[in-house]
Every structure is written in structure tokens, then in C-alpha cells.
Amino acid sequence: MGVRVPPGIRPGLASGRLAHAVEVQAVHDVQIYSDLMRAVRIQRFGGPEVLEVAEIEPPQPEDDEVLVELRAAGVNRADILLRSGSYHDAPPFPIVPGREGSGVVLGVGPGAAGLRPGDRVVGVVGSPGFYAEQIVVPAVRTVPIPDDLGWAEAASLPTAWLTAWYCVRRLGRVRPGETVLVQAAASGVGDAAVQIAKHAGARVIAAAGSDEKVGWALEHGADEGVNYERHDVVAEALRITGDRGVDVVIDAVGGRVFPSSLKATGHGARVVALANVTLEDSTVNTRDFYPKNVTIYGFQIANLMERGYDPRPDLEELIPLVADGTFRVHIDKTFPLAEAEAAHRYLEERRNRGKVVLVPGS
């Protein structure tokens, strides 16, 4: 077995195994790293079958980076877009997908202040990607997590939950007593948006693609529900609000659903468009929003971060509320890392209610 100590980092003892099929050794308090780790990668765009398990070089942290042994990685629609070649910003092949995850710090670069080996952290946007056993993440993209926050729950926070947090609170500016319509309310983002809007004191209308999903959203906090595959969301929203229309829409679907988000609004409403799950065009009539002084926001968290948004303060506010049970991150299903293909199929077939997570150690 070849062994190696990543150069230039302050090493520490990890609590779990480090890499596939090799023993972990500790010599004079220095962790010995294996030559290879398991990761899921793609070498061409395509269906879920292009996700392959490979043994690759573990990453090494640079100056201000943190090396993390991953315990859970969130599976997101963005990963599916990336895999299928529809994401706006794909790196060169081979690509290891995954933009969020949680784990234990193995080592830190000399410029990575405030984190130590053994710390439990959640991270967002790292290299090579979170569908792996190890990753390096810039220290400014990691946040410590408490012992009572589960790995899967933590791994689900930086994308779906942070998106919902930002959209409901900052863009929607939801106030007590307002009515919020959440499109795709049983999705990862939708579930979070329902709970965050309720916490802000709103009445929430959950729209989803089946009666079962609508029922699920009602069980988990929504006040009213509508199946947008079978019923007219606009008519329902107007009925529920006594013809006033809703105050805020969190639209996690886009495409053919987006016109109903505009039509369902009342005076001064805020509509947050954060998705186009089917990549379809939306046909809208401007009269459905300008006469009501409706504001339409676009939101993309990746773009926001690339342009300077620091996710740590919002995550630091969100994490205690999840740890103390104020919010419940619903983990629908976990898959072993090697079953990333099945995890993608599950999400693409619209079978999830809440989040899907990969577990590298299983």
C-alpha cells in the first residue's frame, strides 16, 4: 500500500476510515492517507448511467482550504443538470458532482483560520465535488455544526434550505399574516420554504404534483394544498385568499407553472423564480403582474456566491434552528455513494419528498 501525508497541512486524527480498501494508520499523531479514495464521477454527459464509481487521488488542501472526510452529500437538481449537460457552468471532464456535504475535518491549510482537525463541518462548493470520500473546501465555505445535528440533515442545508431561507426571508420578506404559495411544496426547496414561511407567521398554500405530495406537505406544516396537475392553482389561491391573491410565491418549478405564480398574486406581491425544472419556456402576460405592482425576483445561489455572497452568516443562523428542532429537514432517502445512479433516478422520477442524500461511508 502506498501511503502519503498531504504536504503543507496540519494533520489530525479522523474518527472514521479515510479511504476505500486501505487501513488507516496513525504515526506520531500524524494521519497517513491512502493513495486513492472512492468518488463518483462522470466522463461524458448523459443519463444516470454515466455516474461511475472510481478510485481517484484524494485532494490536498491549499493554503486557505480544509480537507474534509465526508459523511453525507446532498443530491440536488443542479447535479442532474450538470450530469446531463444542461448546467450553465460545467467544469472539464472528469467531473465529480456534488455541491454540498458534511463531515469531519482531517486537516487544514496554514491559512485556514478557525477550524481544527476533528471539527464537524458542513461545506459548500469544493474540489473535486461532494460525491466522494474526501473533499477540500475553502475555509470560507465551511461552517461548524453541533454534535446534535445529523450528518444527512447538515448536508442538506447549503443548497435547498439556504435557498428557501434566502428566498422566503430576504426576497419574499414574508410578514406575519401574509399568504405564501409554494410551488413544488414537497421538493427539497419546497419543504424548506413551507417551514420557513410558517415560522415567519405566514399562511402557506402548498402546490404539488400529486394528491399524496399535497397531503405530505399538509402533514408537514402547510395550511392549504392544491394538486397542480389536477386543479387550477390560481382559482384555488384566489378562493383561499378571498380573491385578494397571495402575497408571496416561491416558485421552485418554473416553465409551464410560472404563469400561474404570476396570476395567483395580489397587490404588491413578491414572486421568487428560482427554477426551471423542465427547461421549458414560460408564456406570461405582463398584465398578470404590472397592474398589481408585483415584484419578480430571480434567484440562483451559485451565481450569488460567485458574486460575493458569503453563505456562512445565514447558515450560522439556520443551523441552530434545525438542531433545536424548530425546523425539520426531511431526509426521504439515503443511498450509499456507490448508488449515486439510483439516487439520481429517484429524484428525476419525482419520487422524493424532501431531501435525498448520499452516504460515502456505507
Ligand X SMILES: NC(=O)c1ccc[n+]([C@@H]2O[C@H](COP(=O)([O-])OP(=O)(O)OC[C@H]3O[C@@H](n4cnc5c(N)ncnc54)[C@H](OP(=O)(O)O)[C@@H]3O)[C@@H](O)[C@H]2O)c1
**In the complex, minimum distance from the CB of residue 204 to ligand X, in angstroms, rounded to a whole number:** 15
Query: At 355, phi and psi to the nearest 5?
Result: -100, 150
Q: Which stretch binds ligand X (CB under 6 A): 28-36, 170-178, 197-205, 344-352?
A: 344-352
- The single residue among 120, 213, 220, 270 that binds ligand X, judged by CB under 6 A, is 213
Nearer to ligand X, 187 or 195 (CB): 187
Q: What is the DSSP letter of 205?
A: E
Rule CB under 6 A: say whether 184 interacts with ligand X: yes
Using DSSP bridges, classify how beta strands 30-34 and 3-4 pair: parallel, antiparallel or unpaired: antiparallel
- The single residue among 275, 322, 329, 357 that binds ligand X, judged by CB under 6 A, is 275
**In the complex, minimum distance from the CB of residue 166 to ligand X, in angstroms, rounded to a whole number:** 8
Rule CB under 6 A: say whether 274 interacts with ligand X: yes
C-alpha cell at 147: 454534535
Rule CB under 6 A: say whether 182 interacts with ligand X: no
- The single residue among 187, 195, 241, 265 that binds ligand X, judged by CB under 6 A, is 187
For residues 86-125, which are near ligand X according to CB under 6 A? none
| Cα 285 to Cα 281: distance, rounded to the nearest angstrom | 13
| Cα 94 to Cα 43: distance, rounded to the nearest angstrom | 5
| 33-72 footprint of ligand X as x/- string (CB under 6 A) | ----------------------------------------
- The single residue among 96, 189, 319, 331 that binds ligand X, judged by CB under 6 A, is 189
For residues 240-259, which are near ligand X according to CB under 6 A? 252-253
Instruction: Give alpha helix (H) positions in the chain.
Output: 77-84, 151-155, 162-165, 188-199, 211-219, 233-240, 258-263, 301-306, 312-323, 340-348
Rule CB under 6 A: say whether 193 interacts with ligand X: no
Burial (CB count <10 Å: 0-12, 13-18, 19+), residue 78: buried
C-alpha cell at 161: 434550505
Which of 112, 126, 113, 123 minimizes the C-alpha distance to 71?
A: 123
**In the complex, minimum distance from the CB of residue 300 to ligand X, in angstroms, rounded to a whole number:** 4
| Cα 254 to Cα 38: distance, rounded to the nearest angstrom | 36
Rule CB under 6 A: say whether 83 interacts with ligand X: no
Nearer to ligand X, 80 or 104 (CB): 80
The partner residues of 107 in beta bridges, in order of sequence, read 11, 67
Q: Which residues bind ligand X (CB under 6 A)?
A: 76-78, 159-160, 163, 184, 186-190, 208-209, 213, 252-253, 274-275, 277-278, 299-301, 347, 350, 352
